[in-house]
Chains A and B, each alone.
Chain A
C-alpha cells in the first residue's frame, strides 16, 4: 500500500546543493522533473539516482522536482530522502534503506 504524502521540500539553491520538491499526484508511479547545470553529462545518472532513492523509500503517486546546482551524488540523495521524509511526516527514517 502506498504511503500518504503531503507537499514538502528540502535543500537550497546554493552552489553544490540541490533543491527538491515532493508533490503528490493522482497518477501512480514516480515522476521526475530535473533541472541541472550538468544535465547533458549527468542528467540520466541523476534521474536514476533520484528514482532509486524514492523507490527504496516505497513511495508512489508522486512528482519529484529536482533543481541541481552541481551537487555530489550523496547530497542529491540526502535532499531527496529529507524531502520524502518531510512529505511523509516521519521523523525517524528506516535507516536500512537509506
Chain B
C-alpha cells in the first residue's frame, strides 16, 4: 500500500481565527487543529465551533486534517470529538497517551459517534506520547488499534516528566525518539517528532530535522508555517537518490513487461521492498518540487 506523505503536521490553534482560515495556504502535509493546550479554558467552546466549520470548508477538502482534542476526562474531550468527527476530520490526535486503555477508551468513543451519525470507520488515531510511562508503553500503544496511523512524541511534557529540559542537541529525547520510532515501525505505522519551539532558529531547526530524518521519522509537528519549506527542503531526496529510484522503477517496469519475476540492477537484486522505497523517493521528490508530475 502506498504511504501518504506526512512530513509536516502544522499545529493551528482553534482559537486563532486568522490561522484557522489561512493555514491551508502554506500547504503542510497535514493541518492539525488544536483544541487542547493552545486554547484558553474560556474559549474552548468557540474554538471547537470554529474548527467544526473550518473542517467542512472547501479550503480543507484537499488537505489531510487532524484535531487535537482535550482529554476525555475533561469536560471538553467528548464535545471536541463529536464536533471533529461530525465535521469529517481524518485524524484524531489523542493527547497525553500513557497506556493502551487511553487509546481503547478513545477508540470506543469514536466508534459510538461514527455509528450514531452513520460514518463508517474512517477516523484514524494519532497517539501523542508525552510521558515516561507512555514511552515505556509505546510498543503496545502503537499496535492496540486498527485506527492507529501513527505515534508522535510530545517533547515539552515529556522532558518535564523526566525532570530535565530540552537542549539543542536533544540528548534528553534520545531514548524516547528511538523507542517511539521502533514501536511505530514494528506496528507498521507512522512516527512523528515533536515541535521545535524556537521559530527564529532556522539552522537549529534544520539540524534537528536532518537528525530525525536520519533516525527514520516520517515527519514532525510544527508550530509556525515558516518552518514548512525548511522541513520540506530537508526531506527532499538527493539527485543521486532520485536517479537511483528512477532506474529501479524503470527496471521493474521493463521486467514486468518481459514477464520476468526477478529483477537485477547493477548486479543487485531488486525486490518488492526496494521498489516500494524507490516509489517513496519519487513521491517525496514530487512533493518537494524537485521532480515534475510527468517525470
Interface residues of A, Cβ cutoff 8 Å to B: 10-12, 14-17, 71-72, 74-75, 77-79, 81-82, 85-86, 91-93, 95, 98
Contact = CB atoms under 8 A, between A and B. Distances in A.
B55 to A, nearest CB: 10
6 A-B pairs with the lowest CB-CB distances in the bound complex, closest first: A74-B53, A17-B17, A82-B46, A78-B49, A78-B50, A78-B53
B21 interface: yes
Tell me if B's interface is mostly helix, strand, loop or mixed.
helix
B195 interface: no
Contacts of A78: 46, 49-50, 52-53
A82 B21 CA distance: 17
A92 B75 CA distance: 11
Contacts of B54: 74
A92 B49 CA distance: 11
A16 B75 CA distance: 29
A95 B53 contact: no
Contact of A72 (B21, B46, B56, B86): B21
A17 B52 contact: no
Interface residues of B, number: 19
B75 to A, nearest CB: 8
A95 B50 contact: no
Nearest to A69: B17
B45 A85 contact: yes
Interface string B34-59: 00000000000110011011101100
B82 A11 contact: no
Contacts of B153: none
B86 A75 contact: no
B87 to A, nearest CB: 9
B18 interface: yes
Contacts of A79: 46
A56 B222 CA distance: 38
Nearest to B55: A74
B110 to A, nearest CB: 15
A10 B44 CA distance: 12
Contacts of A14: 17-18
A16 to B, nearest CB: 5
B17 A75 contact: yes
Contacts of B56: 74
B82 A95 contact: yes
A48 to B, nearest CB: 17
B17 A74 contact: no
Contact of A82 (B20, B49, B79, B86): B49
A15 B18 contact: yes
Contacts of B50: 75, 78
A64 to B, nearest CB: 16
